[in-house]
Structure 1
Amino acid sequence: MSTLIKAARTALFAAAVALGGQASIAATPAEAARAALGRTATPAEVGAWDIDVRPDFQGLPKGSGTVSQGQKIWDGKCASCHGDFGESNEVFSPIVGGTTAEDIKRGRVASLTGNQPYRTTLMKVSTVSTLWDYIHRAMPWNAPRSLSADEVYAVTAYLLNLGDIVPADFTLSDRNIAVVQQTMPNRNGMTLQHGLWPGRGQPDTRNTACMKDCAGTVKVASAMPAYARDAHGDLAAQQRTVGPTRGVAIGTAASVPAAAAPDEKAGAKLASQYQCMACHATDRKLVGPSFTEIARKYEGQEVRDTLAHKIRAGGQGAWGSMPMPPQAQIPDSDLRTVVGWILEAK
């Protein structure tokens, strides 16, 4: 059967299915098998994934939040990583700064075209929807998607106020966010003149695929280290189970080489579950001190309650200027297990 005929049969069969069986086109066994795969996603399943907000604000939920409300949320959940006024610290890039009243007026951050030594978020971002969307889906880092829509509006309003984009008594909402877009400092900084913009149909590069003399065996030159594999939970549980990409299961000998097998102790698993491994490693300094360093510092001391309080409340100064965000959501039993495991690290 020719490719054209196959394509025609497939199209006719799809039409028949769409018409609820009103057409009587016979399907091949392969076509029938493909049509029987899966089921229609429920509204709740679609809604759980469909959270993006477009630059035209499609997908933006209703809600509102004031600058003052945003400051309270910021101080409690954001400032430990991003600074009291969005100036950040030695690890995270500043969010606020580098923009002027003239930038807000003309819609293009002038310092981006010169030799500005750093780039802040408000200097670069061209759409306020990007700021709202990222806060909504990814922040705070230890509890993403835990903020309500009103809280996201409030935090966004606070950041915009720090950048002198909106006044201190401003209330940001789904009704006025499009107006705020017209005052973003770099709103005219996004170009549409790239090859894959809809309607152009031309790639950005002019290279051609070689597709010859390919290596018979591909050697993997780098891999994610074992201590970071589960820093954001079990990746296998977060990936689709079919298709070309599957997550790596953690906690099993088959998931990683034997020499790099993850610690099976309950404390290690909980430390990964609650994102402690995002900033700490067992035997080396990352953003914060290693667990081995902590165990050596407090060796022979009864500090379980003290460390538990530090983890739950967050803090700064014991190991340098880098702050540790609070982990108030950890149950007491899990917190005791994590602290006990840390103090046993040698």
Structure 2
Amino acid sequence: MFKFRNTVLILAALFSSATVLAQSTKYPGVGRDATPKEVAAWDIDVRPDFKGLPVGSGSVAKGQDVWEAKCAHCHGIFGESNEVFSPLIGGTTAEDIKNGRVANLTRTDYPGRTTIMKVATVSTLWDYINRAMPWTNPKTLTTEEVYAVTGFLLNLAGIVPDNYVLSDKNIAEVQNRMPNRNGMTTAHAMWPGKEFGGVAKPDTQNVVCMKDCAPEAKVASFLPDFARNAHGNLSEQNRLVGQQKGADTTKPESAATNSGATAPAAAPPATAPAAGKAVDAKSDNKAVIAMLGKYTCTACHGIDKKIVGPGFNEIAKKYPGKVDYLAGKIKAGGAGVWGPIPMPAQNLSDGDAKTIATWIANGAPK
């Protein structure tokens, strides 16, 4: 019995010690220090001196395949599209590659600035593609795919040849051919110290001030309910992707934000069965719309408006009742019917494809 009690006490002491060690030493009792593995998973940035760049390689040919499958629907086949984001490629010349300064950046009459015109370091391209692309499913590209896509972009800009294989071994050589490599300045003190060649003095001289603070501002006016919908319903004027959603301005703000008790529901009308069917149909439509979000269809298609591809209502008008055809197109993808930007093949089950196709064939109702 004594041996058992001693064993329990020893285990309790060890557990207590482990708990103390797991806690942060800087802020006792608050959280714990991150493990080396956790830090490694978070610390993925690649610097201009290529510190942090993983070992690997990827060919321009491989990059073209990845690009057409995962990138072209937003950026265009040649990185020139301006439909979703600003164009990536264009505006640079062989002379820019030779000199390291993009001449078109100094022109006031040039229509726009592409990414390859502005970016000074190839590490910036690699790092951003690695951490943020594809924008509907970031951090899903393999190391080889990131090298390959970066190489393909460089090839589109005439920086590397068609048969090039970009790798951690030769990326520094590519840096010496970036069109705007000499166009960036560090003489603005946005970084501390002189490690980047800039000045040591910071560009601001702020000091902590916690006295004579202004009292909390009080709102003296507000937008009246009758003016909330002056420009149409804001909730219907946002893209269907992203976190920013407009308020439903068809309802007064007081009604939308009121968290008090609601009035009891009225008795069901005499035509309850018919109403029930309408509710069921609406529920089915909402389920399909949720499925569109699950498969990121709404990243490129609005219900009643074009984003990258046509709106679902527009597709419904062109192919009424053609369930099998629409299901096949969803699965296989395609290009040329609605414009030059292709839709890649979609990875979903036959059943889900047919459910979405049936909804479109029936008019894509909300």
Same fold? TM cut 0.5: yes
Q: Give the alignment partner of residue 63 of structure 1, picking from 38, 53, 56.
A: 56
Cα deviation for residue 125 of structure 1 reads: 0.8
Q: 1:292 aligns with which of 307, 313, 319?
A: 313
Rounded Cα–Cα distance in structure 2 between residues aligned with 1:74 and 1:287: 16
Identity %: 52
Distance 1:120 1:294, change over 3 A: same
2:95 corresponds to which residue?
A: 102
**2:7 corresponds to:** none
Structure 1 residue corresponding to 2:131, chosen from 129, 134, 137:
137
Indicate the larger mover: 155-164 or 283-292.
283-292
Q: How many residues align?
A: 291
Q: Which runs of 5+ in 1 are unaligned?
A: 1-16, 22-30, 236-246, 248-255
TM normalised by structure 1 equals: 0.69
> What aligned pairs does 1:15-30 form with structure 2 within 5 A after superposition?
none
Q: Report whether the alignment pairs 1:187 with 2:191.
A: no
Structure 2: give runs of 5+ residues left out of the alignment.
1-16, 193-199, 246-254, 258-281
1:337 has 2:318 as partner: no
Kindly tell me: are residues 334 and 36 of structure 1, through their superposed partners in 2, closer, same or farther at Cα, counting changes over 3 Å?
A: farther
In 1, Cα distance between equivalents of 2:35 and 2:25: 23
Deviations 1:118-158 (A, max 9, x none): 22221111110111112222323444323211121112112
2:147 maps to 1:153: yes
Change (3 A) 1:90 1:196: closer
What CA distance in whole angstroms lies between the structure 2 residues aligned with 1:32 and 1:136? 33
Alpha carbons of 1:33 and 1:182: their partners in 2 closer, same or farther (altered >3 Å)?
closer
Measure, in 1, the Cα distance between the counterparts of 2:203 and 2:135: 37
Letter in 2 for 1:145: K
TM-score under structure 2 normalisation? 0.66
Amino acid corresponding to residue 288 of structure 1 in structure 2:
G
Is residue 2:326 matched to residue 1:307? yes
**Hey, what does 1:203 align to over in structure 2?**
204
The residue identity in structure 2 corresponding to 1:307 is L
Distance (whole Å) between structure 2 residues aligned to residue 34 and residue 226 of structure 1: 46
> Is residue 215 of structure 2 the alignment partner of residue 216 of structure 1?
no
Higher Cα radius of gyration: 2
Structure 1 residue 295: Cα displacement: 2.8
What secondary structure, in the 3-state scheme, does the structure 2 residue paired with 1:265 have? Answer: helix
Residue-by-residue CA offset, 1:286-323 (whole Å, 9 max, x unaligned): 34333233333333x2x22322232233333433x252
Q: How big is the alpha-carbon RMSD for the aligned residues of Structure 1 and Structure 2?
A: 4.0
